[in-house]
Structure 1
């Protein structure tokens, strides 16, 4: 005789396959950058809130600043509910330029944004620049002497931030010297070792590296208003006379064939995590500002950012 389980129990059992002991967050770059930070925030918030019984794993999958991980999630791991992949506005920038091959933002499920980061302009601690005006003056006088490092290639968000600096200095972005690295952590290491002179990086990942001993100086934050906490003393580029802003959305996505029930389990877990009283503390530790979006609100944000990036790519001549 066959015993039929109630529908709600079938759905719960299926959904449980999404979050369990084998759940992973993929950081699509080398360790130490913003994707790594996003996965750490996901892991810590889920565990702190009790949404998972054991911490989820973090694995690193560098390749094309997210392109390899995106392709794998669309193809080989499309239905794998135990894997979430970290994304940032840099991911959307690459998609907007067609840098992920035939894939677009419509090919995955954008699950949750966990917080908002912002761009910063960093130099070595002993660099001869103490404000943005001094750096831009040096760039204007000798654009070939300053080497920019970036966690990504030409057309990446670090490259765009550097290109906007070049424009503010009154020189063509085509004249700037630029060295690409696989992730912000590697780029910051090159800055610390004096292989590059300027890093147009991200506040959260640079903050974590400072905590680990990196000796850098922050000349400006690329936000509309001053950031709180450790960055409160750092003026914005806008305050210094140059309206350069670069907000960075950070979150996670799932494969396109993950079931509705499994997506709902992830959403319920993240709703519990992001509404927990300690979530704000975790955000502060990560160096992020609160920006929790999911569902249609997140989709709208992604569409808006992607359209904006396509316009910028055309403007700077890097749209494929």
Structure 2
């Protein structure tokens, strides 16, 4: 089955599970806000702006959703702020990704676990990507891995987060597949993908382990970058079809990245339901597919308890993966 067929099937199954468009009868929170837990320009920013666009276009919200930024620890600062101090604020949703769940699996959000917030919705999926400058000497992922294998200190790898983050994990998985000791990698941590892309353009790093969504957005905006490899099973559709997968270059690695939202643990059932119903409406709206395409994302529609079950399953899988790489888990 092709990628497009699978995406359509996923959307159809999820739409059927959602049933008819829910009637949103509960009161809309005042001044709705989406917190992107990083600097502007990265995946969390894209996630919030996707919510902003689809919720308003679908009519699910009457007031524009404001996007704010709370960088720190690839989501840790925002998670601790919501669970610790803003537990019951009904107007706030916070963006999360696969990276957030991987960090939770390793206990990087302090004392808190995936049980400490209410998971509202997944709005789409992204994929990990290896990004270089357009004029890079590395023409393939094999070229890059060969250079690292010959001299690990010769290649500076940039990524969002420290050792154990999802960007570090993508690099480590590629290194392991190439027969390289991933512990020898020369690794520079950034707060997010946007910061890494800026450093890459400035020549401060040779490659970024970023995501397709924010990397392609930078390319669309004129950044002199290229996607050396995408961690998807098959080539992605549309303009992304020009970019090869890691798998077809001999590195059988997939890294899908869920993009979704949570609210505080003490948000009322009524307000939680309002957000879940609003996203269910947005996901079923005619503009949903177009908004995903504009942000270089793909369908992964889930709301409410389905999202919670997905998160718990993913955290369990990430604990095993982290353990395989000798990382502590919680």
TM-score (norm 2): 0.90
User: Per-residue deviation at 1:19?
Assistant: 2.9
CA distance in 1 between counterparts of 2:159 and 2:319 reads 20
CA distance in 1 between counterparts of 2:288 and 2:113 reads 31
CA distance in 1 between counterparts of 2:149 and 2:286 reads 48
User: Per-residue deviation at 1:192?
Assistant: 1.0
User: Per-residue deviation at 1:296?
Assistant: 3.1
User: Per-residue deviation at 1:292?
Assistant: 0.5
1:204 aligned to 195, 204, 213, which one?
213
Contact 1:139 1:169 (8 Å CA) reproduced? no
Q: 1:231 and 2:260 equivalent?
A: no
Contact 2:32 2:63 (8 Å CA) reproduced? no
Q: 1:159 and 2:168 equivalent?
A: yes
Q: Which residue pairs with 1:143 in the alignment?
A: 152
Q: Which residue pairs with 2:15 in the alignment?
A: none
User: Per-residue deviation at 1:213?
Assistant: 1.7
3-state SS in 2 of match to 1:309? helix
CA distance in 2 between counterparts of 1:276 and 1:156 reads 34
TM-score (norm 1): 0.93
Q: Which residue pairs with 1:191 in the alignment?
A: 200
Q: 1:175 and 2:181 equivalent?
A: no
Q: Residue deviations 1:208-227, cap 9 Å, x none?
A: 11122211121111011111
3-state SS in 2 of match to 1:52? coil
CA distance in 2 between counterparts of 1:253 and 1:55 reads 18
User: Per-residue deviation at 1:168?
Assistant: 2.2
Q: Which residue pairs with 2:10 in the alignment?
A: none
Relative to structure 2, which stretch is displaced further, 55-64 or 302-311?
302-311
CA distance in 2 between counterparts of 1:185 and 1:101 reads 25
Q: Residue deviations 1:140-188, cap 9 Å, x none?
A: 1111110110111111100001111211222111100111111110011
Q: Which residue pairs with 1:77 in the alignment?
A: 86
Q: Residue deviations 1:7-43, cap 9 Å, x none?
A: xxxx96xx42x533x1110000111000000000000
Q: Which residue pairs with 2:258 in the alignment?
A: 249
| Structure index of larger Rg | 1
Q: CA RMSD in A?
A: 1.3
Q: Which residue pairs with 1:215 in the alignment?
A: 224
Contiguous gaps of at least 5 residues in structure 1: 1-10
Relative to structure 2, which stretch is displaced further, 257-266 or 297-306?
297-306
3-state SS in 2 of match to 1:248? strand
Runs of 4+ in 1 over 3 A off after TM superposition: none
CA distance in 1 between counterparts of 2:110 and 2:127 reads 27
